Structure 1
């Protein structure tokens, strides 16, 4: 009886510890076209991956022409779908959308990136 209780308590501790490590985080970015050095705007709310884990990008919403990542790992993507599955080691990441060019250039864009870890 005592061994069963001890084994059950150990399993419970392992389950609680494992679920405490699991997580989800979201970061976002915004770009507004303007005169360089005057009123253009580039801002980001960072996504933080805790020490000791690697997160995987699971969702991206982007109304620009793709986006780029700045952090311990940097990358750029032509579409949000292209980034799904990309892995982010622990650290702080910032995301910025690319503005669409062409005859009628896009004036502002945003990106939101969600990543999860086990």
Structure 2
């Protein structure tokens, strides 16, 4: 029974919402390899803030997939993301060690100066 409790506690901890060292950034959860990060609205277009979070969340030389969102409506944070949050995508980050590729893309709704967006 103690082993079951330990297993359940570790599963709960792995899906819990975690706050960043940077105030306001939250890891809402994860589905597969993709982690969902809630961005403070004031930093939504701050490229250097994203780079700090990527460095904090992604181990060097490891595959890492992050989706970033704001939560202007104050919707309860859960996974799967509520529609109100899912509609506020700000950026994605993908690093695939298998393919040797790394890519950061802004959401087109952010209207950032960039050739490509999603």
Higher helix share: 2
Q: Larger RCO: Structure 1 or Structure 2 (Cα < 8 Å, ≥ 6 residues apart)? A: 1
Asked which structure has the greater CA Rg, the reply is 1
Higher strand share: 1
TM-score over 0.5 for the pair = no
TM-score scaled to structure 1, two decimals?
Answer: 0.32
TM-score scaled to structure 2, two decimals?
Answer: 0.32
